[in-house]
Amino acid sequence: MEYRPLPSDRAEEFREYVDYAFSPEDGPGIDDEVALDDQPGDERALLADGELLAVCRHYWFRARLRDRWFELPGLSAVASPPEHRRQGNVARMLAESLVEYRDRGDPLTALWAFEHSFYARQGWGLATKFAEYECDPETLGFARDRVDESGRFRRLDADDYHLLDPVLAAANEGRELALDRTEQWWRKRIFEGWQGDPYVYGWADDAGELRGYVAYRVEDEDGGKRLAADEFVAADHEARLHCLRLLADHDSQVDRVSFYGTPDADLFDVVDDPGDVECEVKPGPMARIVDVPAAFEAFAEPAPDAPEGAATEFTLSVSDPLADWNDGTFRVALADGTATCEPTDAPDDEADATTGVGALSQVVAGYHSVADAERFGDLEIRTPAVRDALAAAFPEREVFLTEGF
């Protein structure tokens, strides 16, 4: 069995596998207008005797976590046809992907799960929740009264991507796993769509500075037309109100509008009647540690003023179903603002703490506090001193990774 870059003559099979896995209702067919080599990312294949067993795509993102920028592989388009399923091929593809990431020196990876329970069994843990808001456009009419008509809206195209970049950065300030988009990603994934390019409008203030933008499509549905915003981004509250005003001003064209945001967004606090807004909280991407020592040494935040009595050294037993280099016991030392983590021969059943790699991934990413990982996951800690040390090294953060990939 061989894991390798997708052979150039197997691109059609790759598309067939992905189409069957994610949109079988569309029936057989190839979209020849979408060339694989024109898209971000790199395709991989798992083959045996020349037969394609499974495929996937890797995206090479640059992300921020705990004040550090790092390379975050995004795993996508994992697919295997019916004749090769239930044979462990997808798990082999995932394991080989982790080997590739480790060889690159990547401490974490992320993916959107087609089934959370499947990827949880493979060591991934939920890392983000987000909310989809939907309402009648008139519900957002309050925004017209909250801001004057200063500044202006203008239609944007792909050549304007550099104007949107600082707006997104301002909106993501303080959010973990925020991505630093490349020009190719802006052009191919924000200004282009699989079923038609979106409209992109930005609001600039009187000084000409762009401070908010919306990328959206208008869809025909059984109940009428809906304006669906895939990107609703504002650098500040004033810009957010102007973007809401833009959606409200479509009341003569659409019956509903929808957009995404954080679950704690202030829409319910500013709209006239919160009951007019539907809000559905949804699971976002899952994250996974690639290499336990690398993750500790990259992201642990051992404060010089750690709680009195907190452990400065302890052993941690990790179980990992895919990466044998993570499956064992590690000695962790936290001192002088730095962390070290290395394998040890100490018995697993005598470790100061035990955890699955998924729960540990959630703690490292900031999605779960140590206490939440004990409550909701399989993290078990023997002593308060170790609990205090882990909590000080990995405080809970706001994680908001909603990039579509």
Residue 301's pLDDT is 84
Per domain, the residue ranges of the chain are 2-106, 130-282, 292-393
pLDDT tens sequence across 8-61: 999 999 999 999 998 888 777 655 555 666 779 999 999 999 999 999 999 999
What class has domain 130-282?
alpha beta
**Could you tell me which CATH class the domain 2-106 is placed in?**
alpha beta
Q: Determine the 3-state secondary structure of 386 from DSSP.
A: helix
pLDDT tens digits, residue range 100-128? 999 999 999 999 999 999 999 999 999 99
96: which residues sit within 8 A by CB, 6+ positions away?
3, 44, 46
Please state the CATH superfamily assignment of the domain spanning residues 292-393 in this structure: SCP2 sterol-binding domain (3.30.1050.10)
pLDDT by residue (tens digit) across 352-387? 999 999 999 999 999 999 999 999 999 999 999 999
What's this model's pTM, rounded to 2 decimal places?
0.92
Per-residue pLDDT averaged across 80-85, rounded?
93
The DSSP-derived string for 219-243 is EEETTEEEEEEEEEEESSHHHHHHH
Residue 392's pLDDT is what? 92
What is the per-residue burial (b if ≥16 Cβ within 10 Å, else e) of 274-299? Answer: eeeeeeeeeebbbbbbbbbbbbbbbb
Report pLDDT digits (tens) over 156-210: 999 999 999 999 999 999 999 999 999 999 999 999 987 789 999 999 999 999 9
Q: Do domains 2-106 and 130-282 have the same CATH topology?
A: yes
pLDDT at 35: 60
